[in-house]
């Protein structure tokens, strides 16, 4: 660990300025409001008063800090999940600027309160599983969660009752009809927990075992969960939305009565209480900046990356993400799964929460909706995102798409391929060379010593590989760092056949 101190202390002063460290952390996406930073400040005895220009760290203090706060060490060593975070942010900003031009769609107007929002607002907010943060646009403006609250109620129901019990009351198939359609599946249950009927059902399961729990307890429980998901940043309740919602809820009442008629609810459920809870959950509000920590918690197997709070079990999150993938985007869920290939949930306030499993959570918020109820800009953002990055679930099988893997360090991908190529050439592994070439590898590429595949093939007398490389038209006499050519290598090692082949090829040039 002393090493890291020395690398950072390049002027050999024997101390590091805390302010400089903060700058490095910020470039890695660790912001000042990060919950984990509060503990670092505490350990350093930093308060708002002496913050932070005078604070310096000697090697011992530095080592202590990176030992007790591993995220600091990870960031300083560029080992966070997105190692080139600034490059990533630059690309996200470009996408944001492109998408901002799109003013298509219209705000939801079936609830009066939703129709009043400023339609031009647009925010994108990112939180990685290492707590790297980036946000653009109106990311501090609170909006209500609407249907994007549904996955969390499902998670809560799963944790309380387990999979079997929950799915005695709600299915897990896409419905193929709109989110509020008056429709149940063939056995009289709501299709899935991501549409209204199923979400009302999730609400009926919350704190069901605790018969003494009041309506306030139930809502408090949901709100507290959101506060844990959002690392205790602002999460509130928009009473105007709630009242508006409640006044215009004929369809949701109809759905609830329809389900009761079909015997879908568990015993001892007060229908009105359940519906009220459902409206309240839709009216929970927070900003895009804060909300991104929720999908990031899902991406991080249920643990909030900024607080270390294990909000849900990993299996709960897995099951929830499966349903978000198949059912999270209203009547465009199949298309979203096909084109974007990520678990997501949208809400009629214009929010989309997207999970890139094991990488990050993304929130896009822009109130204008398309015909099925998804944010127009949100969808365009997602499309552009997966065009650029290999985030689609199944990009892992389509390696030659030219998409960027932001999880890799800048040159890591190229270096990996280069090492494989040189290794394959020296071992005579023609198959591997062909595979690399098919994946767009330049067979002329040299390592830092200027050694190329053909150098190695000549040195190791790999005749088949030599013939293959010559046939592919690679340069025949590249010079390595010491001025040596492949022919020099072959001669030095007395590989007569290789010498013959190379000399002939060079003559025919």
Exactly one of 330, 346, 355, 474 is catalytic; name it.
Answer: 330
Nearer to ligand GLU, 353 or 462 (CB): 353
Exactly one of 96, 117, 150, 354 is catalytic; name it.
Answer: 150
Residues 6+ apart with CB under 8 A from 136: 92, 93, 96, 123, 124, 125
Nearer to ligand GLU, 18 or 242 (CB): 242
- Gap between the Cα atoms of 332 and 329, Å rounded: 5
Nearer to ligand GLU, 180 or 300 (CB): 180
Q: Is 221 a catalytic residue?
A: no
Nearer to ligand GLU, 248 or 444 (CB): 248
Burial of 97 (0-12, 13-18, 19+ CB in 10 A): exposed
Q: Is 147 a catalytic residue?
A: yes
Secondary structure (DSSP) of 264-318: -SPSS--HHHHHHHHHHHHTEEEEHHHHTHHHHHHHTTTB-TTT--B-S-HHHHH
Q: Is 348 a catalytic residue?
A: yes
Q: How far is the CB of 112 from ligand GLU (least distance, A)?
A: 12
Q: Which of 163, 138, 465 is nearest to 286 (CA)?
A: 138
Do the Cβ atoms of 326 and 92 come closer than 8 Å? no
Q: Is 53 a catalytic residue?
A: no
Q: How far is the CB of 190 from ligand GLU (least distance, A)?
A: 13
Structure tokens at 246: 């409640």
Nearer to ligand GLU, 147 or 485 (CB): 147
Which residues bind to ligand GLU, rule: CB under 6 A?
Answer: 146-147, 179-180, 196, 245, 252, 282, 347-348, 373
Q: How far is the CB of 275 from ligand GLU (least distance, A)?
A: 10
H/E segment holding residue 497: helix 496-507
Exactly one of 242, 278, 289, 389 is catalytic; name it.
Answer: 278
- Gap between the Cα atoms of 374 and 340, Å rounded: 14
- Gap between the Cα atoms of 335 and 326, Å rounded: 10
Nearer to ligand GLU, 196 or 326 (CB): 196
Q: How far is the CB of 214 from ligand GLU (least distance, A)?
A: 23
Q: Is 212 a catalytic residue?
A: no
Question: What are the C-alpha distances in Å from 289 to residues 94, 209, 447?
Answer: 19, 34, 43
Give per-residue burial for 27-47: e unless 16+ CB within 10 Å, then b.
ebbbbeebbbbeebbeebebe
Secondary structure (DSSP) of 158-197: HHHH-HHHHTTTS--S--SS-TT-S---TTSS-S-TTSHH
Exactly one of 40, 166, 348, 355 is catalytic; name it.
Answer: 348
Residues 6+ apart with CB under 8 A from 498: 457, 458, 461, 463, 466, 490
Do the Cβ atoms of 369 and 330 come closer than 8 Å? no
Q: How far is the CB of 25 from ligand GLU (least distance, A)?
A: 37
Alpha-carbon torsion (31, 32, 38, 43), positive or negative: positive
Nearer to ligand GLU, 154 or 179 (CB): 179
Diameter of the chain measured on Cα atoms:
92
Q: How far is the CB of 200 from ligand GLU (least distance, A)?
A: 8
Q: How far is the CB of 357 from ligand GLU (least distance, A)?
A: 23
Q: How far is the CB of 238 from ligand GLU (least distance, A)?
A: 12
Do the Cβ atoms of 380 and 367 come closer than 8 Å? no
User: Vertex 305, ends 302 and 307: CA angle to 5°?
Assistant: 100
Nearer to ligand GLU, 21 or 199 (CB): 199
Q: Which residues are marked as active site?
A: 147, 150, 278, 330, 348
């Amino acid at each position: 660990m002393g090493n890291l101190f020395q690398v950072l202390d390049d002027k050999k002063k024997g101390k590091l300025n805390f302010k400089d460290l903060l700058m490095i952390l910020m470039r890695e996406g660790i912001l000042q409001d990060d919950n984990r930073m509060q503990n670092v400040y505490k350990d350093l005895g930093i308060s708002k008063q002496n913050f932070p220009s005078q604070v310096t760290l000697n090697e011992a203090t530095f080592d202590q800090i990176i030992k007790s706060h591993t995220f600091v060490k990870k960031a300083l060593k560029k080992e966070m999940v997105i190692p080139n975070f600034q490059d990533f942010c630059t690309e996200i900003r470009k996408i944001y600027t492109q998408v901002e031009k799109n003013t298509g769609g219209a705000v939801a107007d079936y609830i009066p309160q939703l129709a009043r929002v400023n339609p031009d607002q647009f925010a994108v907010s990112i939180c990685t599983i290492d707590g790297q943060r980036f946000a653009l646009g109106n990311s501090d403006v609170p909006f209500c969660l609407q249907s994007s609250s549904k996955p969390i109620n499902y998670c809560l129901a799963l944790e309380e009752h387990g999979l079997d019990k929950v799915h005695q009351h709600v299915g897990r198939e896409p419905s193929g009809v709109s989110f509020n359609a008056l429709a149940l599946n063939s056995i009289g249950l709501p299709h899935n927990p991501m549409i209204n009927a199923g979400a009302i059902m999730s609400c009926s399961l919350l704190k069901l075992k605790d018969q003494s729990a009041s309506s306030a307890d139930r809502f408090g429980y949901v709100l507290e969960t959101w506060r844990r998901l959002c690392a205790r940043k602002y999460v509130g309740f928009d009473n105007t939305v709630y009242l508006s919602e409640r006044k215009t809820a004929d369809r949701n009442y109809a759905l609830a009565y329809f389900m009761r008629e079909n015997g879908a609810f568990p015993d001892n459920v007060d229908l009105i209480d359940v519906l009220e809870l459902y409206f309240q959950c839709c009216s929970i509000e927070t900003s895009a900046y804060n909300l991104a920590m929720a999908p990031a918690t899902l991406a991080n197997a249920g643990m909030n990356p900024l607080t270390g709070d294990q909000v849900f079990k990993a299996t709960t999150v897995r099951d929830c993400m499966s349903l978000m993938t198949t059912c999270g985007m209203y009547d465009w869920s199949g298309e979203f799964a096909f084109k974007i290939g990520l678990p997501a949930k949208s809400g009629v306030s214009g929010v989309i929460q997207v999970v890139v499993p094991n990488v990050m959570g993304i929130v896009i918020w822009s109130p204008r909706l398309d015909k099925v109820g998804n944010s127009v800009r949100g969808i365009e953002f997602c499309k552009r995102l997966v065009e650029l990055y290999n985030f689609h679930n199944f990009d892992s099988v389509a390696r030659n798409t030219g998409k960027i893997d932001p999880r890799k360090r800048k040159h890591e991908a190229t270096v990996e391929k280069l090492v494989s190529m040189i290794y394959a050439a020296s071992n005579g592994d023609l198959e591997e060379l062909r595979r690399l070439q098919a994946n767009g590898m330049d067979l002329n590429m040299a390592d830092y010593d200027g050694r190329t595949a053909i150098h190695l093939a000549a040195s190791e007398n790999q005749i088949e590989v030599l013939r293959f490389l010559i046939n592919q038209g690679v340069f025949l006499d590249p010079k390595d760092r010491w001025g040596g050519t492949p022919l020099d290598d072959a001669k030095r090692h007395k590989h007569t056949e290789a010498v013959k082949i190379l000399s002939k090829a060079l003559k025919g040039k």
